[in-house]
């Protein structure tokens, strides 16, 4: 009799779980059908890129993007839309970016772009060049070999790494810290090979970090093609002179805002989804991170269109100034903490609008098995992995011992062809890939919220 009762209870529980999974499967199919057949995500990206364009924090175009974001979230059906003020830097590139090298018999211009935050040259800076592959090599050369020269960091991203994000991370310190380290040894300027996987003539910008205890020297990036040409020219003439002219300036910080759109839930708990509204001031900020912005707005639109009433309050946050110090992400986390808001989860899209294949996740060990158990539901949409690791820059300040943090994981092989360059434009985003990313994010948010209601997620 006891054995029969146990069998009955196990069978009953299995029926309940199968019924829940069947309901979830139907909802995930509805989510994908809704987003894949709707034009709003792609058209929002078109408007953001073509009507507003690049939108560096502190700029007038960033202000226009904030106003557009408010309107887009209202149109998407958010129950409430509001702004969170954020203090951001105000750096202006200026109109002059020129780089030449001169040998005894030739003068040649190379494509260049100032690194974000660089000081200007105040005229033309002329100096001999010292080429290095790393900061460690710079230290080995020392002040005797470096002083009075322009340091040329010629380090490629590691092509052998399957994860291009890891390759970028391995080279990031050259851009982030290289100019400051060059100044430590008396350099008067710094140029770097772009952090790019493309063999083209588009230089890639990105922030550099000065050390206030050291001189601030002008810093710029060369394209991959330009870096190769300069390296070859130095082999022919080690005493060639580089001429750099930049007109960039740094102004006092100003106030801009994160944009928040919310669907009200039944509880006082929250799930946040987001991307960063700012971009660099070249190109259109399409993959970085226009795609994450419109995908987050699409989460709101799709759930409202499907008449889904969530348990948690679901927020789409359009973060300002990820590129220049993550002020938007840090401010959002501070406000949430001050208001005592409890987050179940947060999800970010900042890897470009490419084909999604799963999620990076930074979750408590106790929760990971529950999330992994959802893979059979997600497998029909080629979402095959919950990979332990980082999540995203904007949501990382929310991290605590309870929250589950996720980053949309995409096929990133082409991302660093476009990243931080003039080539990051709307035309280089595929409509279907963009929509698949939005559907993946919406599906994960639904599962977190629905499984919480069913009691499958317990912190």
Q: Are 286 and 52 in contact (CB under 8 A)?
A: no
Q: Is the pLDDT of residue 12 over 90?
A: no
Instruction: Give the single-character DSSP code of 116.
Output: B
What are the chain's domains? 34-91+252-453 (3.40.630.10), 97-247 (3.50.30.30)
| Helices marked H in 37-119 | 40-47, 60-76
Span 166-186, pLDDT tens digits = 999 999 999 999 999 999 999
CB-based contacts of 42, cutoff 8 Å, min separation 6: 294, 429, 431, 434, 435
In this prediction, residues 308-314 reach a mean pLDDT of: 97
- For residue 383, pLDDT over 60 is answered with yes
pLDDT beyond 50 at 8: no
Task: Output phi, psi for 319, to 5 deg.
Answer: -75, 140
Q: Give me the pLDDT at residue 41, please.
A: 98
The answer to whether residues 147 and 128 touch, using CB atoms and an 8 Å cutoff, is no
- Does the pLDDT value for residue 319 go beyond 70? yes
State residue 431's pLDDT score: 98
* Contacts for 388 with CB less than 8 Å, ≥ 6 apart: 360, 361, 362, 363, 368
pLDDT over 70 (residue 1): no
pLDDT of residue 2: 41
- Degrees, nearest 5: CA angle 342-343-345: 165
Give yes or no for a contact between 242 and 100, defined as CB atoms under 8 angstroms apart: yes
What pLDDT was estimated at residue 106?
86
What is the rounded average pLDDT of the residues 42-58?
98
Segment 338-368, tens digit of pLDDT: 999 999 999 999 999 999 999 999 999 988 9
pLDDT at 18 over 90: no
| Exposed / middle / buried, residue 20 (Cβ in 10 Å: 0-12, 13-18, 19+) | middle
pLDDT at 16: 39
Contacts of 414-417 with CB under 8 Å at 24 or more apart are: 414/197, 414/352, 414/354, 415/164, 415/165, 415/287, 415/351, 415/352, 415/354, 416/157, 416/164, 416/167, 416/168, 416/195, 416/196, 416/197, 416/198, 417/196, 417/197, 417/198, 417/200
> What is the spatial distance between Cα 425 and Cα 196, in angstroms, rounded to a whole number?
16
- pLDDT attached to residue 14: 38
Give the sign of the dihedral formed by CA 84, CA 90, CA 95, CA 96.
Answer: negative
The answer to whether the beta carbons of residues 288 and 429 sit under 8 Å apart is no
Neighbour tally for 143: CB within 10 Å: 11
For range 426-434, the mean pLDDT = 98
Using CA atoms in the order 351, 354, 357, 361, what is the torsion angle rounded to 10 degrees?
Answer: 10
List, as one string, the DSSP characters of 202-266: -----B----TTS----EEEE-HHHHHHHHHHHHH-TT-EEEEEE--EEEEEEEEEEEEEEE--S
Q: Is the pTM of this model over 0.85?
A: yes
Q: Is 231 left (phi over 0), alpha (psi -120 to 50) or beta?
A: alpha
pLDDT at site 10: 34
Q: What 3-state class would DSSP assign to 51? A: helix
* Tokens 């994000």 belong to residue: 165
Closest CA to 25 of 380, 408, 406, 306: 380
Question: Among the listed ranges 18-27, 76-85, 215-224, which one has the minimum average pLDDT value?
Answer: 18-27
Greater confidence, 131 or 454?
Answer: 131
> Could you read off the pLDDT of 401-419 as tens digits, one per residue?
889 999 999 999 999 999 9
Mean pLDDT for the stretch of residues 288-298? 98
- The pLDDT of residue 276 is above 80: yes
Query: Residue 277: what pLDDT?
Result: 98
Contact 138, 182 (CB under 8 A): yes
Average pLDDT value for residue range 138-151: 97
Do 408 and 299 touch, CB atoms closer than 8 A?
A: no
What is the greatest pairwise CA distance in the chain? 99
Work out the average pLDDT over 3-11: 36
């Amino acid at each position: 009799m006891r054995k029969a009762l146990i069998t009955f209870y196990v069978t009953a529980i299995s029926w309940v779980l199968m019924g829940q999974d069947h309901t979830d499967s139907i909802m995930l199919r509805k989510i994908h059908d809704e987003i894949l057949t709707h034009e709003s995500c792609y058209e929002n990206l078109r408007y953001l890129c073509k009507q507003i364009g690049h939108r560096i924090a502190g700029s007038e175009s960033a202000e226009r993007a904030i106003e557009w974001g408010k309107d887009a979230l209202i149109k998407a059906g958010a129950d409430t839309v509001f702004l969170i003020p954020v203090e951001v830097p105000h750096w202006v590139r200026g109109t002059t970016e020129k780089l030449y090298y001169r040998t005894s018999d030739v003068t040649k211009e190379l494509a260049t772009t100032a690194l974000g935050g660089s000081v200007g040259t105040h005229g033309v800076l002329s100096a001999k060049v010292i080429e290095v592959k790393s900061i460690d090599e710079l230290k080995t050369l020392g002040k005797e070999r470096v002083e009075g020269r322009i340091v040329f960091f010629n380090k490629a991203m590691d092509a052998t790494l399957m994860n291009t994000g890891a390759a970028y991370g391995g080279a990031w310190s050259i851009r982030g810290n290289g100019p400051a380290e060059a100044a430590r040894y008396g350099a008067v300027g710094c140029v770097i090979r772009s952090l790019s996987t493309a063999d083209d003539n588009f230089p890639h910008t990105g922030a550099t970090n000065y050390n206030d205890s050291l001189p601030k020297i002008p810093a710029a990036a060369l394209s991959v093609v330009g870096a190769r040409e300069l390296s070859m020219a130095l082999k022919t003439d080690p005493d060639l002179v580089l001429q750099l002219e930049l007109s960039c300036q740094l102004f006092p910080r100003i106030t801009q805002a994160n944009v928040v759109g919310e669907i009200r839930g039944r509880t006082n708990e929250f799930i946040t989804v987001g991307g960063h509204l700012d971009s660099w001031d070249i190109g259109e900020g399409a993959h970085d991170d226009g795609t994450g912005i419109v995908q987050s707005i699409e989460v709101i639109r799709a759930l409202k269109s499907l008449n889904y009433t969530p348990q948690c309050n679901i927020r789409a946050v359009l973060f300002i100034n990820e590129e220049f110090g993550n002020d938007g992400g840090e401010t959002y986390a501070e406000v949430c903490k001050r208001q005592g808001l409890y987050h179940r989860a947060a999800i970010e899209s900042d890897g470009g609008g490419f084909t999604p294949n799963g999620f990076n996740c930074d979750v408590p060990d106790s929760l990971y098995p529950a999330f992994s158990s959802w893979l059979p539901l997600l497998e029909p949409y080629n979402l095959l992995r919950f990979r332990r690791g980082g999540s995203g820059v904007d949501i990382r300040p929310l991290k605590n011992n309870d929250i589950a943090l996720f980053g949309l994981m995409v096929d990133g092989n082409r991302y660093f062809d476009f990243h931080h360059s003039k080539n990051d434009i709307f035309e280089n985003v595929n409509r279907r890939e963009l929509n698949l990313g939005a559907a993946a994010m919406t599906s994960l948010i639904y599962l977190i919220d629905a499984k919480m209601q069913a009691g499958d997620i317990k912190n």
